[in-house]
Amino acid sequence: MDAYVRNIVLDCADARQLADFYTQLLGMRVIREDWMVIAKDEDSFPRLAFEEVEGYRPPLWPDLDRTYPQQMHICFGVDDSTAAGELALRLGATRLSEAGGSCPVFADPAGHPFCLCGPGE
């Protein structure tokens, strides 16, 4: 069996808004609009997809008392984590200052945590 990661799907309240955030942050483009999917091009994987959920609640991270923990976060490799972080903030991300580790951690406009890791981080 040959398997691969096809889509990473993020729940959200507004799929178009979150797709726009990630296309600008990652230099991707929308490849499907009926189910908001973005990628570098039609043949690249994995892709990011966005699914609107009624009553969406953003994850909490870090959630030290573990009452409402986030389930995952995505680490993106970037050439310059400082420049990428500045872009993320301009696009509407929030820096998660409580987060530790070697890579800066942010929350996207829907609250999903993600890291921007530069070379060697």
Domain count, the chain: 2
Does 117 lie in the same domain as 78?
A: yes
62-71, pLDDT tens digit by residue?
766 666 666 7
Does 65 lie in the same domain as 42?
A: no
Does 43 lie in the same domain as 92?
A: no
- Whether 42 shows a pLDDT value over 70: the answer reads yes
86-119, pLDDT tens digit by residue?
999 999 999 987 555 788 999 999 999 999 999 8
Here the CATH number for the domain that contains residue 10 is: 3.10.180.10
Residue 59 corresponds to which tokens in the numbers above? 């994850």
Q: Which domain holds residue 106?
A: 61-121
Does 72 lie in the same domain as 37?
A: no
What integer pLDDT is reported at residue 102 of this predicted model? Answer: 80
Residue 8 corresponds to which tokens in the numbers above? 């990473």
> Residue 5: pLDDT band by 50, 70, 90 thresholds?
confident
**Edge-to-edge strand ranges of the sheet holding 29-32:** 7-12, 47-52, 37-39, 29-32
Does 96 lie in the same domain as 65?
A: yes
Does 103 lie in the same domain as 76?
A: yes
CA 95 vs. chain centroid, Å, equals 13
Cα(43)–Cα(22) distance, integer angstroms: 18
> Residue 72: pLDDT band by 50, 70, 90 thresholds?
confident
Does 38 lie in the same domain as 88?
A: no
Mean pLDDT, the chain, whole residue set: 89
**What type of residue is 23?**
T
> Pairing mode, if any, of strands 47-52 and 7-12?
parallel
Does 91 lie in the same domain as 71?
A: yes
What integer pLDDT is reported at residue 10 of this predicted model? Answer: 94
Does 76 lie in the same domain as 47?
A: no
Name the domain boundary from 54, 70, 97: 54
Q: For the chain, what percent of residues have pLDDT higher than 90?
A: 69
Cα(101)–Cα(57) distance, integer angstroms: 25
Does 73 lie in the same domain as 48?
A: no
pTM equals: 0.86
- Whether 57 shows a pLDDT value over 80: the answer reads yes
